[in-house]
Chain A
Amino acid sequence: MTVTVGLSAPYAHAPTSIRRTMGLVLLALLPATLYNAGLFGWPAVNLFVVTVLAALATEAVCLRLAGKPLFPPLTDGSAVLTGWLLAMSLPPWAPWWIGAVGGFIGIAIGKHAFGGLGQNVFNPAMVARVALLISFPVPMTLFVAPRPLSSADAPGFLEGLAITFGGRLDLDAVSAASALGHVKTELSRGVPVDQTLSQHQDWIATLLGAVPGSLGETSAVLLLAGGLFLIAKRIITWHVPVSLMGTLFVLGSVTSLIDPGRYPDGLFHLLTGATLLGAFFIATDLVTSPVTREGQIIYGIGIGALTFVIRTWAGYPEGMAFAVLLMNAATPLIDRYVRPRVFGRTSKGEPLSAKRKR
């Protein structure tokens, strides 16, 4: 369906477009992505490419099945972004079919089953990630220690192909726990959190991202830079990231003050797991977050609180994906009830009273 612009004004338009919006998000993701590609080497690059291509191919098939034109939707960047974000949330050395199945689930079930771009209730990348996590828990929780491309023990290109496509991976040799997972495991063995952190937590490495973790989530500094770039470009606003991270930080700090042996502190919550990736790039997904600023703050607080609850008391070490999906479900409700006050009306919608009438 192509609707040509109607007869009505305005006859001027800001230099905005969906492609520009998506393109800027991709640009903001690029530094963190390149850094992590270097950090995790060829297998990560392979997985990334497979996931994005799977998302694009699924998009094309779904558009064709729905009888919609392939262009501009295929080139507007939205399918690439879904695949990209999904890839960034996967364990870097996961086999190729994780990316392929994920790309398919994200686009076909997460997006087109709802009617395509703009119609989906849930964040497609997170739908795919959670479906994969529940269906294939082992490969989805297998993290590797960083092996930068420049280092001696990094797998070469062919070796990388074998890891991604051939399943040639000596699990025990490479596996490493993410910080969140490590803290949780140690706690279950009876080691207090503060002790684990003081022994193992390397804050500089955490900040820069040279730690085990998902393909694109580890570099706090570069993700933060990308997020600030998006805010500067007015693609997103501060409301979701700040309310989300603020909630997580406050809850972490308060509980950690009460019992440092049981709860990690607020800063640890902010810099580990998918917090920064989630706060700036996933929770801010335009389609599935509330449209009003006030609603976005409620939504951000909800994701922060749920993430904290899942990380702290649930079975999974990381809860960002679940929290985002749960708050996605609440978004229509938030949008229904949280509305700006209309000019000249009370918040209930009644006209203001004019006292000056003679």
Chain B
Amino acid sequence: MKLFRIRGGVHPEYRKELASEKAIVAMPLPRLLRVPLQQHVGAPAEPVVAIGDTVGKGQLIARAQGAVSAPVHAPTSGAVVDIANLTAPHPSGLPQRTIVIESDGRDAWAELPPPIEDPLSASPREIARRVGECGIVGLGGATFPAAVKLDLRSRHELDILVMNGAECEPYLTCDDRLMRERAPEIIDGVRIMAHALGVDRVIIAIESNKPQALESMTRAAAGVANLSVIGIPTRYPMGSERHLVQALTGRETPARQLTADIGVVVHNVGTAHAVHQAVRYGRPLISRVVTVSGHGVCEPGNVEVPLGTMVSELIAFRGGLTEEAPRLLTGGPMMGQPLPSLDVPVIKGTSGILALTKEETRIQPAQACIRCGSCVSACPVGLVPVDMVALVRKDNLDEAAAAGVMDCISCGSCAYICPAHIPLVQYFNYAKGRLNAIQRDEQKRDRVKRLVEARAARMAKLAEAKRAAMAARKAAAAPPKPDPDSPPAAAQ
């Protein structure tokens, strides 16, 4: 298949070999599981259990709230021992509502919804509903509720489903392992999703540094009509949704729009596996494969972890840390986030837990920019980071916005390559946050202004009505006056 060129990008040191040859192993069931109510983009789920309730494995414990949300299920059987605010796996370290389940050790399934018979002829709505009920979110890391993205047919004219198996982040191998070990299940999930979306073509894209995954997926996909498994060049950020779509189809997503606007939907291969589980067995999303890697951890590997497992337990399961204080991350090194502590749970979006040593991160103090232009060549969006960072440094946010800072995808290619070690993404994230806050403030001010004006108008109308009523009363009581419109002779 003809591939299209994408701009920029870098070739980071992938270090995937640390974990790529380690088969997925199951995490032994922890005693306590702490399941946060927000593991997805959108509104947090609302608990439907109370402290003291016993739950079965896979039982709904919190339901979705609103159009963009996802429910949460019990990862094992046991008792709800607490519903409390506990530290979230987010760099802020802020607490969020979390249901704590004490395992009874039996790991007994609750009554699950029945499998959908013959999903390839089921209605798309039914499949989307099942995927939604099972709490499936995008497992590539974005955690957008998958059901919303499977129900796009009503609003968009779709023709291509792209399955993202690029896994372009260094270190991460969870998708690689899943594709190697569970290709038939993934392909089944992909076919169900393609059916739900009503697309005529499916492209499964895998970076060429995963030859075994490519091979096993190609084998599993043999004979499936309109489905192709494609090896794509290994270049970060190839897995960025818009860039992947451009590389595969040549279609460029317009700024501020979705790939669905140009007829393409992108899902992660891990999500397809979860869809297979939900549709064929009625199993909700209660575990995921997590890559534990980096030179800071004793035994890197890929672990199927029940959601709600503490990171500290997961790391202990992989032999613990090799040094006192490595850099701890959730996600990959290019776009992942620092962990506030080890005492946070694994959630739906946790693709990796990395412990990186100083030699791996190469963190150095920033020096003066030498305007080498490496960042301009590396930027996959076509921005000029060297100029944007100068504007943000001066807090000149309007000009930074005009220079395109809001189009930045925070992929980190510029900061990765910068010889002066300037933390460019930090500046851009700051600018984006500030600009968003300013925009929110403006919207709020506009709304307040509208309300105030409406109130003033209302009050004026009320006063006017009052005056009119008063005048009418007076007119009724007093003797009729001369008509003010006819000029009275006495006024002259």
Contact = CB atoms under 8 A, between A and B. Distances in A.
B366 A2 contact: yes
Given A117-B368, A356-B262, A7 B91 contact: yes
B363 A292 contact: no
A118 B372 CA distance: 9
B469 to A, nearest CB: 53
Interface in B51-92: 91
Interface stretch (A171-179, A183-191, A312-320, A340-348): A340-348
A116 B369 CA distance: 10
Interface stretch (B101-109, B268-276, B419-427, B446-454): B419-427
Given A17-B419, A342-B381, A354-B257, A10 B367 contact: no
Given A11-B356, A291-B384, A354-B262, A21 B370 contact: yes
A29 to B, nearest CB: 17
A78 B371 CA distance: 13
A296 B364 CA distance: 29
B261 A11 contact: no
B144 interface: no
B371 A291 contact: yes
Contacts of B364: 5, 13, 17
A99 to B, nearest CB: 25
Contacts of B243: 343
Interface residues of B, number: 74
B419 A21 contact: yes
Contacts of B420: 17-18, 118
Interface in A142-191: none
A124 B33 CA distance: 63
A63 B410 CA distance: 34
Contacts of A356: 156-157, 261-263
Contacts of B416: 10, 12-14
A132 B9 CA distance: 43
B327 interface: yes
B376 A292 contact: yes
Interface string B356-385: 100011111111111111101101111110
A286 interface: yes
A349 B423 CA distance: 26
B374 A342 contact: no
B170 interface: yes
Nearest to A358: B157
B338 interface: yes
B367 A335 contact: no
Given A16-B417, A340-B384, A11 B423 contact: no
A21 B255 contact: no
B245 to A, nearest CB: 11
Contact of B327 (A11, A289, A296): A11
Determine chain B's interface SS by DSSP, over half rule: loop
B482 interface: no
Contacts of A8: 410, 423, 425-426, 429
Given A21-B372, A358-B156, A345 B367 contact: no
A17 B13 contact: no
Contact of A10 (B372, B381, B415): B415
B7 interface: yes
Nearest to A2: B365
A76 interface: yes
A7, A11, A237, A292 pick with most chain B CB within 10 angstroms: A11
Interface in A286-339: 286-293, 296, 335, 339
Given A12-B362, A343-B407, A118 B255 contact: no
B252 interface: yes
Nearest to A339: B384
B394 interface: no
Contacts of B410: 8-9
Nearest to B171: A12
Contacts of B262: 354, 356
Interface in B237-282: 242-243, 246, 252-257, 261-263
A1 to B, nearest CB: 9
Interface in A1-54: 2-18, 20-21
Contacts of B254: 344-345, 351-354
Contact of A343 (B157, B377, B382): B382
Contact of A12 (B334, B422, B427, B429): B334
B335 interface: yes
Contacts of A296: 373
A12 B242 contact: no
A339 B363 CA distance: 30
B337 A9 contact: yes
Given A14-B12, A342-B383, A117 B253 contact: no
A8 to B, nearest CB: 4
A200 interface: no
A67 interface: no
Nearest to A68: B368
Contact of B335 (A7, A9, A352): A9
Nearest to B356: A11
B156 A344 contact: no
B138 interface: no
Nearest to B424: A8
B386 A291 contact: yes
Contacts of A345: 254-255, 407
A331 to B, nearest CB: 9
Given A339-B384, A343-B380, A7 B338 contact: yes
B363 A11 contact: yes
Given A10-B334, A16-B419, A352-B255, A340 B361 contact: no
A28 to B, nearest CB: 15
Interface in A257-299: 286-293, 296
Contact of A341 (B257, B263, B363, B382): B382
B353 to A, nearest CB: 13
A340 to B, nearest CB: 4
Nearest to B367: A18
29 contacts: A5-B365, A5-B423, A7-B338, A8-B426, A9-B334, A10-B416, A11-B327, A11-B334, A12-B360, A13-B361, A13-B362, A14-B10, A16-B418, A18-B370, A73-B368, A119-B368, A287-B370, A291-B386, A293-B377, A296-B373, A339-B382, A340-B379, A342-B382, A342-B383, A343-B242, A344-B256, A351-B255, A351-B256, A357-B157
Given A8-B423, A9-B334, 11 more contacts: A3-B365, A5-B363, A9-B425, A14-B417, A17-B364, A291-B387, A339-B384, A340-B383, A342-B255, A352-B254, A356-B156
Q: Which 10 A-B residue pairs are closest in the complex by CB-CB distance?
A: A6-B426, A10-B412, A291-B373, A344-B255, A340-B382, A352-B254, A13-B362, A8-B426, A354-B261, A351-B255
Interface of A: 2-18, 20-21, 72-73, 76, 78, 116-119, 237, 286-293, 296, 335, 339-345, 349, 351-354, 356-358
